[in-house]
Structure formats: structure tokens, C-alpha cells
Amino acid sequence: MKKKTFTKPFVYGILIIYAVVTFMPFLWAILSSFKPLEEIVSGITFFPENFTFNNYTEIFSREPLFLRWMFNSLFITAFMVVLNIIFNSMAGYALARVKFAGRKFWFFLILVVLMIPFQVTLIPSYLILKAFGWLDTYQGLIIPGMVNATFIFMMRQFFLNFPKELEEAAQMDGLSRMGTFFKIVMPLAKPALAAQAVFIFMSSWNDFMRPLIIMSSEEMFTLTLGLNSFKGQYISFWNLIMAASTLMTIPSLLIYAFFNRYFIKGVTFTGGK
Amino acid sequence: MEPARKETPAHEERQSKPPKKGKRPKRYMSKGMKEGLSGYLFMSPTIFTIGVFVVIPIIYAFYLSLNDVQLLGGIGYEFIGLENYTRTLDDTRAIIALKNTAEYVLIVVPVQTCLALLLAAALNSDIRGKNAFRIIFFLPTVTSSAVLTIIFMWMYNPDGLINSFLSFLSLPTYNWLADPDIALKSIMIMNIWATAPFFMVIYLAAMQDISDSVYEAATIDGANWWQKFIFITVPILKPVTFFVVVMGVIGTFQLFDQSYIFSGGSGGPNNSTLTVVLLIYQYAFKSLDMGYASALAVVLAFIIMIVTIIQKKFFGEEKLHD
């Protein structure tokens, strides 16, 4: 009994201190986004004394492209999520369930691709996109990222344990492989698809390096690039920069809040980004 | 991480076995052919994307690394053998970048691993509010590196939140952003803060799989929480730790976003935040020296793949969880 009274406050202490340390930068950023500039430059106030929403509207008037950047990020991310879900699941399903020549070879290739750091393909991919005329376009970001070896692998493992009877019944009813897949299999794979969707959303929404290389004109920037250039332009206007940062983070936080369960599942599965 | 390594690509001809003769006269196509066709139909987006944007680029990267590449109008190649690789040896910036990256890996990986383990152990004990803690700890993982870096840059300002806090405690303050001796450490602190909770989740999942019976004998012998942690939990988690360290090394070797945003792409002040990937980026897309940049990328890829293969060898089929 003695030990319990000693360790419990200690454990709570660690957790609470770390929670404060984790939360503080976010709180500080959000609070600052509601402060007028004078309050920011005049020194440190923790809570806003002159609470204002103006920073949020000022971003859009000072930087007319901000709305466009939001659209670009949403558009690219939406495509990435939908295409990845469909294509990764199709490949995972084929590797788990369809008996075709070369199946083992393709599975082995997926395992090899998993080990390759993406930096080595960066420069050649850039030159290939250039040859296609896809630099500075949406498809230049979307097409190379529309499948993901990690999730193909995940979906394969998922479909290995998928009940066979349903598919067999569907095929008896005369549904083709494709029909069975889209009408029977996919609806039953929802939890795995959700985990995948959350992960793809986060990695696409937050991606910095690929857009940096592929997008060159300001109109085509994603929000991460836009935020970086906005920061460069308004370097001492931290109230605006914090408002912009908060805006950029809200979608991820919403997705995280609603799909928290799937997200943790995804992390423990992939163990890496 | 990937348990299913039993299968090798050998002996695959068996798969395309000819169909049993004459069984289904109604069909125009045999069952085997149909399966083969739908298999490739299902795989086609993957084969296209991985072929064009992974397999071809890897071969192309080797080719580029052996050439002097000129990007004027079109692309010009001049074969120069291994010159790009030997050039790295007397490129002072490459050596600085490698030194910075190595320092970063050697400090960040052990610290974040220990922190992750400690947090997971704390969260795994019998306490209330587990979910709330976990949700808060995980916030940095879902936030973009660009946003995190920008928030930290502001906190790191000479008269920003961190220095105000330090001087409030009468501790020395630093020029976190502009002092070449400090700048890389500022990034280290930020990334340890951001990444440790991610690995905490992996530890936590593994800890939840350890059955209580393991601890019972120790409890009877009067071991306290700390002793159980050091003598039971840590040894059981050894494979997980190995995995976390390797993933950490791979991740830290690829440091780019934070250095880029911190220094505005320059790797400054005074090359102190220059990393290998940032250097590759600069050579490839600022100096347009794509041959040399590719050679550096190939070297980096080799280092990372060796680490990955070591991990696979040791970690092998062992499963973290299911």
C-alpha cells in the first residue's frame, strides 16, 4: 500500500507536466491569434486583453491567394484520399484474394517499395513530371501519390482474414470480380478504409516537401507552402501568422477529433509515416 | 513491422495453372484466365504508379548520379563515372550537413525513445483520464510540421514566450534562432517534443499486450513500480524499443521541413541547420546540379536502407501487436 501512495502522485505529475508542455504552444498560438498587433509587440500578455477576430479576416484581405491555397489543399487532399482508398484496396484485395500469375512478385515488389526512402526518387520523379508537363499542376502532386505501399500492405492483411462466403455467394449470383469488390467487399471494409482515409488526409494536408518541389507559381501553392510564404512576407505580424496557422490546423483537428480511434489504429499498424 | 515475409517471389508459375479442361463449355474464357485478367485489372493503378514513380526513378537516380546533368532547355547528360561520388568527400558543405544530421540523430533518437517509453509507462498505469492525456499528447502528431515550426519560431523569438519564461525563472536566455551554436538544438527540442508521443502510442500498444501475470510474482516479492518497470517492462519491450529506435533513426535522417522553414531554405545561420536532405534539395533545385544531388540522394538511401534491413533482420517476423 505504501508504494501506491508514493507512485501515483508521481505518475500524475509526469503526465500533467507533459500535458501542459504539449498543450502550451497550441494554446499560445490560438490565444495570440485573437490579439491585436499592438498587444503582440508591446510585450507578453498571456490572455488577450483586447480580444479581436480581425486577424482572421485580415489574412484574406492582405493575402487574396489564401482562399486559393485552402482550395488547393482541399482539392488535392480530397483526390488523394479517394484515389488511395480505391486503388490501395483494389491492390490489397488482388494480392490477398485473386489468384493471378505474378502475384507473389508484385507483393514482393510492394515490400521492397516500403523500404525505399522517397528522397532517392525525388529528383528523377521531378524530371519525369517535367517531361509529362505536369510540374506546377494538380495531377503532378496527385498522380504520383495515388497509391501507397504501406496501405496496400495493410489492406492485403485485412482481406486475408475477410470471410470468403460472402464473395462466393455474390459470385454465384453472377456478380463479376469488380462488382463483388465494389458492392460487397468495400462496404464491409469500412473500418480499415477509415483508418486509411485519416492517415492519407493528414499526410497530404500536412505535406511540405513534395508541393515545395512540384508547385512553383503562387496560385498553385498548397496551404503549407502558402503559410510559409505568408510568414516570410509578414514576418513581424505574428498575430496574423498565428491566425493563419490556426486556420490551417482546424481541419486536421476536426478529423482527429472525430476519427481518433482509427487514427491510433493506423499508427500502431504502420508505425511510421 | 511487416510480418509476412515468408513469401518469396519464387515458384510462382504454379499460380497460373491451366484450368481444368472442358468443365465449363459455356464460358468463352477459362476461369484461370479470368482470374488473371481481373488480378491485373485490380493491380493496374498500382503497377502504373509504382512503375513510373518508384521503379523507373530508382534506375534513373543511379543513371543521373553517374552523369553531369545540364538543365538548359532540355536535359543534357555527360557521363563522368563515379566523379559525383568522389566529389562528396571534399565538399565541405556535404561534410557539415552530414555532421549536423549525425549530431541530430544521435541526440534526438535516444531522448525521444526514453521519453516515449516513460510516457507510455505512466499512461499504462492505473490512473484516470487516460484518454484525455492521450488526446493531448497526440496533438503535435496531427499538426503539420510547417505549423509547428512556425509556432516554435515565434516562441523562440529573442523576446518570445520561452525567453520570457526562462528569465522569469532567472535562468539564462538564448538566441534560439540566430545563434549558430543553438539553432540546431532549438530544432532538436521541438522535434523531440513533437515525435515522442507518436512513439509513445507504439509503446503503449505493446505494453497493453503484456499480461498481468508477469508482474504478479514481482509484486509478491515486494518489487515497487520502478523496479518492475526496469526489470520486467523494459526487457520485455526490447524488440519494440529496437523498432522505435530504427524508425527514429530513419525519420531523423530525413529531417527537412523544419530546417527549411527555420532557415528560410538556407540551412543557416552559418550552415548550422543544414541537413543532408536540405543539401540535396539545394543542389538539385537551387543550383540545378541534379547529377551531384542524385549521388548524395543515393548515398542517403543506402544508409537508410541498411538501417531498415538491419531492423528487418533483427525484428524479423516478430509482431508488435495485431
Distance separating alpha carbons of residues A36 and A34, to the nearest angstrom: 7
B233 and B171 part of one domain: yes
Q: Look at residues B12, B30, B65 and tell me which one is the last residue of a structural domain.
A: B65
B196/A263: higher pLDDT: B196
Rounded mean pLDDT, A163-176? 83
Q: For B36-90, how does the pLDDT look when each residue is reduced to its tens digit (9 = 90+)?
A: 889 999 999 999 999 999 999 999 999 999 999 988 778 889 999 999 999 999 9
**Residue environment code for B210-248, b if the CB has 16+ CB neighbours within 10 A, otherwise e:** eeeeeeeeeeeeebebeebbeebbeeebeebbebbbbbb
Q: What percent of chain B has pLDDT over 70?
A: 89
Residue B202 in domain: yes
Contact A120, B297 (CB under 8 A): yes
Are A94 and B36 spatial neighbours (Cβ–Cβ below 8 Å)? no
- Residue-number span of the structural domain to which B273 is assigned: 86-315
pLDDT of residue B17: 46
Nearest-CB residue to B64 (from A116, A123, A205)? A123
Other residues' Cβ atoms within 10 Å of the Cβ of residue B176: 23
Tell whether the model's pLDDT for residue B19 goes beyond 60: no
* Cα distance between residue B158 and residue B8, in whole Å: 57
Confidence at residue B27, expressed as pLDDT on a 0 to 100 scale: 52
pLDDT, one tens digit per residue, over A83-131 is: 999 999 999 999 999 999 999 999 999 998 988 888 899 999 999 999 9
Q: pLDDT-derived band of residue B315, with 50, 70 and 90 as boundaries?
A: low
* Domain A63-270 CATH class label: mainly alpha
Interface probe, candidates B1, B44, B50, B167, chain A, greatest A C-beta count within 10 A? B50
* B27 and B94 together in one domain: no
Q: For residue B252, give the CATH number of its domain.
A: 1.10.3720.10
- Does a structural domain hold residue B266? yes
Give the position of cell 484450368: B19
Between chains, do B301 and A91 touch, taking CB under 8 Å as contact? Answer: no
**Domain identity same for B41 and B93:** no
Query: Does position B20 have pLDDT exceeding 80, yes or no?
Result: no
Which of B13, B35, B65 lies at the terminal end of a domain, its last residue?
B65
Determine the Cα–Cα distance for residues B260 and A228; give it in Å rounded to an integer: 10
Distance between CA atoms of residues B248 and B114, nearest Å: 12
Residue B196 clears pLDDT 90, i.e. is over it:
yes
B58 and B144 in a single domain? The answer is no
Residue in A19, A99, A203 with CA at minimum distance from that of residue B122: A19
Question: What's the pLDDT score for residue A170?
Answer: 83
- Report the predicted TM-score, pTM, of the whole model to 2 decimal places: 0.88
Phi/psi region, residue B82 (left: phi>0; alpha: psi -120 to 50; beta: rest), is: alpha
Residues B42 and B90 in one domain: no
A93 contacts on B by Cβ (under 8 Å): 42
If asked whether residues B149 and B178 sit together in one domain, one would say yes
Residues B297 and B179 in one domain: yes
Q: Determine the Cα–Cα distance for residues A94 and B39; give it in Å rounded to an integer.
A: 5
Domain membership of residue B97 (yes or no) is yes
Query: Which of A:29-88 have CB within 8 Å of B?
Result: 29, 32, 43-44, 83, 86-88
pLDDT(A17) > 90: yes
- B112 with B196, same domain: the answer is yes
**Interstrand relation of B67-72 and B74-79 (parallel, antiparallel or unpaired):** antiparallel
Domain presence at residue B215: yes
Q: Which helix (H) or strand (E) holds B73?
A: none
pLDDT computed for residue A32 by the predictor: 93
Question: Do B37 and B182 reside in the same domain of the chain?
Answer: no
d(CA B201, CA B124): 11
pLDDT tops 90 at residue B131 = no
Given a cut of 60, is residue B22 above it in pLDDT? no
Burial class (CB in 10 A: 0-12, 13-18, 19+), B83: middle
| DSSP string computed for chain A | -HHHHHHHHHHHHHHHHHHHHHHHHHHHHHHHTTS-HHHHHT---SS-SS--SHHHHHHHHH-THHHHHHHHHHHHHHHHHHHHHHHHHHHHHHHHH---TTHHHHHHHHHHHHHS-THHHHHHHHHHHHHHT-TTSHHHHHGGGS--HHHHHHHHHHHHTS-HHHHHHHHHTT--HHHHIIIIIHHHTHHHHHHHHHHHHHHHHH--HHHHHH--SGGG--HHHHHHHHHHHTTT-HHHHHHHHHHHHHHHHHHHHHHHHHHHHHHHHH---
pLDDT band at B170 (very low <50, low <70, confident <90, very high): very high
Query: Hey, is B71 helix, strand or coil?
Result: strand
B102 or B8, higher pLDDT:
B102
Same domain, B206 and B287: yes
Report yes or no on B322 lying in a domain.
Answer: no
The grid coordinates listed for A249 are 490546423
Mean pLDDT, rounded, for B148-172: 92
| B8, part of any domain | no
Distance between CA atoms of A226 and A109, rounded to whole angstroms? Answer: 36
Residues B103 and B55 in one domain: no
Q: How many angstroms separate the CA atoms of B113 and B91, rounded?
A: 33
- Cα–Cα distance for residue pair A180/A167, rounded to 1 Å: 6
Find, among A82, A103, A51, A131, the residue nearest to B16 by Cα.
A103
| Structure confidence at residue B28 (pLDDT) | 63
Q: Hey, of B26, B46, B186, which one would you mutate to test binding to chain A, going by the most A CBs within 10 A of its CB?
A: B46
Domain ranges for chain A, please list them.
63-270
pLDDT at B299 over 70: yes
* B75-79 CB contacts, 8 Å cutoff, 24+ apart: B75/A127, B77/B291
The reply to whether residue B47 touches residue A106, judged by beta carbons under 8 angstroms, is: yes
Cβ–Cβ contact A203 with B under 8 A: no
pLDDT at A268: 65
Confidence at residue B2, expressed as pLDDT on a 0 to 100 scale: 41
Q: Which residue has the higher pLDDT, B21 or B80?
A: B80
Distance CA B87, CA B298 (A): 14
Q: Say how many domains are in chain B.
A: 2
Q: What is the mean pLDDT of residues B289-318?
A: 84
Confidence of residue A273 (pLDDT cuts 50, 70, 90): very low
The residue-averaged pLDDT of B287-315 equals: 88
* B208 and B60 belong to one structural domain: no
pLDDT at B12 over 60: no
The mean pLDDT of B160-177, rounded to a whole number, is 92
Of B55, B57, B285, nearest to A213 by CB-CB distance is: B285
Least confident of A82-96, A139-153, A251-265: A251-265
Q: Which of 104-163 (A) contact B at CB < 8 A?
A: 104-111, 113-117, 119-128, 143-144, 146-147, 149, 152-153, 156-157
Question: Is B1 part of a structural domain of the chain?
Answer: no
Torsion of CA A92, A98, A99, A105, to 10 degrees: -20
Residue A127 and residue B201: Cβ atoms within 8 Å? no
Residue whose C-alpha cell is 490579439? A35
Confidence class for position B317, pLDDT limits 50, 70, 90: very low
| Domain presence at residue B77 | no
